[in-house]
């Protein structure tokens, strides 16, 4: 069964943390995704547990910084997983491979699932090189934020077969999805403004990921104008409402889950537990020098 998280960044930053967490919990989310600092301390998110929410982490990892502090912070906060957009696009394959090995080793050390986010202007900028990374690192799983690829390639429905095939190949290697829609020109468009055929392409892509990893982490990550994502009209007012759109994306997830469960019942099958067997790694119960979380 997929798990559903909401990015903390979706709700206004000037709202008290407890209010944002309460709103996320009342909307039916299982958890909240929180951006991690690389080297500084984390705020106290015990309020998330009080609201009945699990935690997942997201981060940006520059080339010149070590990755371990991210895993330390995520483990200390009791996060269930960590995704990161990782710099290094202009580096050669040997550098990228070393970085991926470092991340996978830390994931094993801290018993913390790691998902490499597909993000433009990062190590995953080039779709073909990303496919190469997956070929060379069979344990690597992705956080599929496919909106970056559709805007980079200006993909509008119907997607060209070669692009669609490549994207669905990536989807089969996802441990997490960032749910966001666009029309192929902006990273994020208001859901009602996205052409139905384009929505269907995204939904099919997400369904491929769900078919491959039934307990996939689904994270709605609609970002406000302060990130340059949410669109504004000529008067500077937001076009649409990202919280309303977030709830619409959760409705898709709920419908998909119901269809998937019904299909499994009809087929008399049970969903596999955890990550795909070929993507599992035996990990210690806790990181070095740490008590279990």
What's the 3-state SS for the chain?
Answer: CCEEEEEHHHCCCCCCHHHHHHHHHHCCCCEEEEECCCCCCCCCCHHHHHCCCEEEEEEEECCCCCCHHHHHHHHHCCCCCEEEEECCCCCCHHHHHHHHHHHHHHHHHCCCCEEEECCCCCCCCCHHHHHHHHHHCCCCEEEECCHHHHHHCCCCCCCCHHHHHHHHHHHCCEEEEEECCCCCCCCCCCHHHCCHHHHHHHHHHHHHHHHHCCCCEEEECCCCHHHCCCCECCCCCECCCHHHHHHHHHHHHHHHHHHHHHHHHHHCCCCCCCCCHHHCCCCCCCCCCCCCC
Rounded mean pLDDT, 157-175 = 97
Q: What is the pLDDT of residue 5?
A: 97
2 — pLDDT class (breaks 50, 70, 90): confident
- pLDDT, tens digit, for every residue of 183-205? 999 999 999 999 999 999 999 99
* Residue pLDDT, tens place only, 270-292: 333 333 333 333 333 333 333 33
Whole-number Cα distances in Å, 45 to 22, 126, 239, 280 = 12, 35, 31, 29
Least reliable range by pLDDT among 40-49, 60-69, 240-249: 40-49
The rounded distance, in Å, linking the Cα atoms of 117 and 142 is: 6
**Confidence (pLDDT) at 79:** 96
Specify which of 215-229, 252-266, 268-282 reaches the highest per-range mean pLDDT: 215-229
Q: What is the predicted pLDDT for the residue at 260?
A: 53
| Domains of the chain with bracketed CATH | 3-279 (3.20.20.150)
> Two tokens at 98?
């070393």
What pLDDT is stored for residue 44 in this prediction?
Answer: 79
Q: Which tens digit of pLDDT belongs to each residue from 79-121?
A: 999 999 999 999 999 999 999 999 999 999 999 999 999 999 9
Predicted pLDDT of residue 39: 55
* 202 CB neighbour count, 10 Å cutoff: 23
Q: Which of 28, 40, 20 is nearest to 4 (CA)?
A: 28
For residue 229, the model assigns a pLDDT of 72
The answer to whether residue 165 scores a pLDDT higher than 60 is yes
Instruction: Average the pLDDT over 157-185 and give the result.
Output: 97
Mean pLDDT of 218-227: 88
The model's pTM? 0.86
Least confident interval from 23-32, 122-131, 194-203, 253-262: 253-262
């Amino acid at each position: 069964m997929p798990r559903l998280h909401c990015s903390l960044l979706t709700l206004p930053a000037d709202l008290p943390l407890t209010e944002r967490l309460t709103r996320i919990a009342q909307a039916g989310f299982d958890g909240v995704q929180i951006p991690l600092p690389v080297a500084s301390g984390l705020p106290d998110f015990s309020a998330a547990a009080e609201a009945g929410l699990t935690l997942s982490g997201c981060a940006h990892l520059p080339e010149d910084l070590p990755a371990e502090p991210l895993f330390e912070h995520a483990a200390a906060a009791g996060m269930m997983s960590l995704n990161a957009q990782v710099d290094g696009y202009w580096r050669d394959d040997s550098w990228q491979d070393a970085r991926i090995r470092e991340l996978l080793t830390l994931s094993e050390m801290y018993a913390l699932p790691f998902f490499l986010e597909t993000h433009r202007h990062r190590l995953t900028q080039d779709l073909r090189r990303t496919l190469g990374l997956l070929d060379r690192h069979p344990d690597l799983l992705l956080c599929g934020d496919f909106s970056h690829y559709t805007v980079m390639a200006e993909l509008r429905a119907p997607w060209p077969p070669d692009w669609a095939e490549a994207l669905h190949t990536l989807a089969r290697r996802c441990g997490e999805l960032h749910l966001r829609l666009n029309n192929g020109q902006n990273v994020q468009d208001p859901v009602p403004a996205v052409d139905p055929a384009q929505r269907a392409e995204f939904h099919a892509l997400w369904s491929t990921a769900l078919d491959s990893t039934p307990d996939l982490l689904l994270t709605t990550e609609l970002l406000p104008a302060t990130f340059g994502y949410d669109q504004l009209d000529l008067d500077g007012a937001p076009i649409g409402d990202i919280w309303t759109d977030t709830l619409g994306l959760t409705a898709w997830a709920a419908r998909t889950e119901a269809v998937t469960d019904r299909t499994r019942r009809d087929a008399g099958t049970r969903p596999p537990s955890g990550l795909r067997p070929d993507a599992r790694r035996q990990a210690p119960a806790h990181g070095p020098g740490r008590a279990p979380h």
